[in-house]
Structure 1
Amino acid sequence: MDISNGLLVAILFVTLLGMGIAHVVMAVAAVVGGDRESRPDGLLAAWTVLLLLVYLELFWHTLDLLNVEEWAFGGFLYVILGPMLLFFATNVLLPGASVPEGVSARDHYLSTSARFFGLLALVQVWIIGVDQLLGSGFTVATAATAGAALLAVILASTRRVSVHVVGTVVAAVLFVAGFLIPGAGG
């Protein structure tokens, strides 16, 4: 049986994404099951949904990894770095039982926003690098990803709720635009 390096890369890539997807789904299940505040924070809920969509979009691109004819170990390490960073970001935002009892969802969101959005900015930079590694070059999607990285840096640098609300809306619009604009991704 001939197992290609591409298949091995894809298997670990999907495994890491699956761990992250499970983490997000478990966090949502805890809210649905009543383990959290009865009225979840809107910003935290929005970023939970956006995280799930990012995971699913990365999963959708798994086949791109199989199209690479030859993998070097350095390329493999770089490709799995993204799902790891995204998983770390997810764990910062949705840590489960480690949030102290008296801390509200909004306070938790704001207290972790610098780490969460710092990691999310690194994920965006990673995406640009993967596009180059896979030979996509610089496209409209690259510009949108660079914009998302800048947005993440801005959100990492402030705890102002109004900035986070606007930033969350912009992130959602960028994500949706990636599916609607030809050549922008998806």
Structure 2
Amino acid sequence: MAIHADNAHGYKDFLSNPNQWLRQNRPGLFAVSPILGTGFSITADAFDAVLLYGWADNLTAADLMQFLDRYRLNVPRYIWVEETNHQYNQLTPDACFKARLAKAKASRLDDEWRWIDPGDPYFHYQAEKNWSLAHLRADLLARLERDTKTVNYELCQLPADEVKDIIAGSLLSVASLKSMMQPSQPKPITSP
């Protein structure tokens, strides 16, 4: 069962009262897109684990940390996150400002560029977001190490044909996900 932006209207009961809905429907596997925002809370004992399958497209490491915590129970969280998508190169506030200025000067609005303030906090926010997306896996791992008590991690080497399928947009099968989650000498990281 999957809930995403295109079909969320059909799951109003889940979105308004997720705990009751989960107790009544008891899905074996349940996938949601980032439609579950900050403050959305699931406390019903419905799942044995949380899986995060993340792409470096629009959710930063901080966003993924929030998304991982929508299911509040203490269960293992298995995470696969793309390292980067190599599309984010404006990593400083100055680079973001210059890109916006160039866009404004190229537009047909004659004086738009005069109103762009290089000190606008938006450029700092955008640079931080771009940096996280450009280094998504590293940023998420650093946040996990800093913000959680224990992180067990292992480098997952998928066969080249599976990587090509993933990049082409195909979904991993449940069997593939389960095989990726089998522990083999995890390296514990304990933070204070």
> Structure 2-normalised TM-score?
0.24
Q: Which has the higher helix share?
A: 1
Between Structure 1 and Structure 2, the one with more strand by share is 2
**Greater RCO, 1 or 2 (C-alpha within 8 Å, sep 6+):** 1
TM-score for the superposition, normalised by structure 1: 0.25
